[in-house]
Amino acid sequence: MLEKIIKLKEQGLTTKQIAEKLESTEGKVKYAWSKYRKSLSEPTNKKTTAPKTKNTGAKPTKKATPSMKTSGNDIVPAVIAIPSLERDAFGMATHYEDDIMHAIVQSPTALYVYWELSELSRKMLETHYHASFDSFRKELRIIDVTLVDYEQGEANRTYQFELPEMTNSWFVRPLSPNTTYIIEWGIQTIDGDFLPVLRSKPVETPRDEPAVEGRFAEVVARWQNGEVDQPEWVEVLRPYSYFDRIR
């Protein structure tokens, strides 16, 4: 199939046209094509660690006195270099080596969510389940966490659905207005569990009608009166810390 795809691509056909010609799906054609492209651009050495900058003299050695240890500490060497990424026809990265899922509001009844999964995460899943990444059934799980603590395993309701292959974003709709959601990307295991691999931060759909019996009067008052340190509602623009989880 790949040979045919290459041939048709050379003739200038779109993925869709090729899929029709080969009586295949667009997803399969795209996948085969991108795999082929990747194989062309793959460096022979897969090492991703950066050239070490240890000998620049900027970093103190272990024997340094305590006062020296914080001086001259201007550069933290990038242990992981910016990986060379696969590029599309416009020179844009088609995928980032990152593990992120992020949801944003489109409307009171729709969210947009996108995700990136690193090679490392794929590898771990493949190792753990002794199966190829392609063979996993990928799903999105939509979790209503309005006024509950999902960290503690609380959820009002959830639903999940299978994603087509080669998908890295989704418009999730229809949803309920004035509701807090967390979205997870994961795999449906053979024994019936949903294993969440990526999780979005909570995001709230806006109200689309006047509040009749609202839920914010009290929390706004508590916040105004200084009874709480943090507002008790979802605020999406949180600080992003590059060294998060390093103490």
Partner 1 sequence: MRKGYFSLVLHAHLPYIRHQEAHRLEERWMYEAISETYIPLLWEINRLERPLGWTISISPPVIEMLADSLIQERYVEHLDDTLRLIDQELERDLVKEERDALLFYKERYHDLKVTFEYWGRDLNHAFRHYKEAGYLELMTCTATHGFSPHMLSEQAARSEIQTGMNCFERHYGFRPTGLWMPECAYTPGLDKIMYEEGIRYTFVDEHSILNADPAPKHGIGAPVYSPHGVALFPRDQIISGRIWSSVIGYPGHPNYREFYRDLAYDREWDQIAEFMHPEGLRYDTGLKLHRVTGESDQKAFYVRDWAWKQTDEHAADFAGALAEHLDQQSGQDFPPFLVTAPFDAELFGHWWFEGPDFLGKAMERFEDFGIESISPATFLDRHFDDIETVHVAMGTWGRKGYADVWINERNDWMIRHLHQLEKRLAGVVARNRHQDGLTLKAKRQLIREYLLAVSSDWPFILDGQTTAQYAANRFREHIKRFEETERLLDAGELTIDWLEARYAEYPFLADEDIEPDVYLTAHDYYVAVKRETSWNDQAVLLVAKDYTDTNRPIADFAKRLARAGENVYVITESETDYRFEDGVHVYGIKQTGLPLVQTYNQLAALNLAVLRQAQALYKIVEFRLVHNFTMETASAAQSFAEINQLPLVSNVYNLESERSPASTGGLVVAIKRLEGEALRHSAVIYLEREEARQGIEKDYHASQQPLDFQENLEKPYEQLAIQKKNG
Site for partner 1 in 5-24 (CB under 8 A): none
Q: Does 192 sit near partner 1 (CB under 8 A)?
A: yes
Instruction: Specify the residue for token string 């844009």.
Output: 92
Q: Which x/- pattern over 23-42 shows residues binding partner 1 (rule: CB under 8 A)?
A: --------------------
* Site for partner 1, residues 48 to 87, rule: CB under 8 A: 48-49, 52, 54, 59-62, 64, 69-70, 73-82
Element containing residue 119 per DSSP (H, E): helix 119-129
To the nearest whole angstrom, how small is the minimum distance from the Cβ of residue 15 to partner 1? 15
Of residues 35 and 87, the one with the C-beta less far from partner 1 = 87
Rounded Cα distance, 213 and 232, in Å: 18
Q: How many C-beta atoms lie closer than 10 Å to residue 153's C-beta?
A: 7
Q: What is the dihedral of CA 159, 164, 170, 175, to 10 degrees?
A: -30
To the nearest whole angstrom, how small is the minimum distance from the Cβ of residue 232 to partner 1? 10
Query: Considering only 5-13, 16-24, 33-41, 123-131, which stretch makes contact with partner 1 by CB under 8 A?
Result: 123-131
In 3D space, the residue among 139, 144, 136 whose CA is nearest the CA of residue 160 turns out to be 139
Q: How many C-beta atoms lie closer than 10 Å to residue 242's C-beta?
A: 6
Site size toward partner 1 (CB under 8 A) is: 105
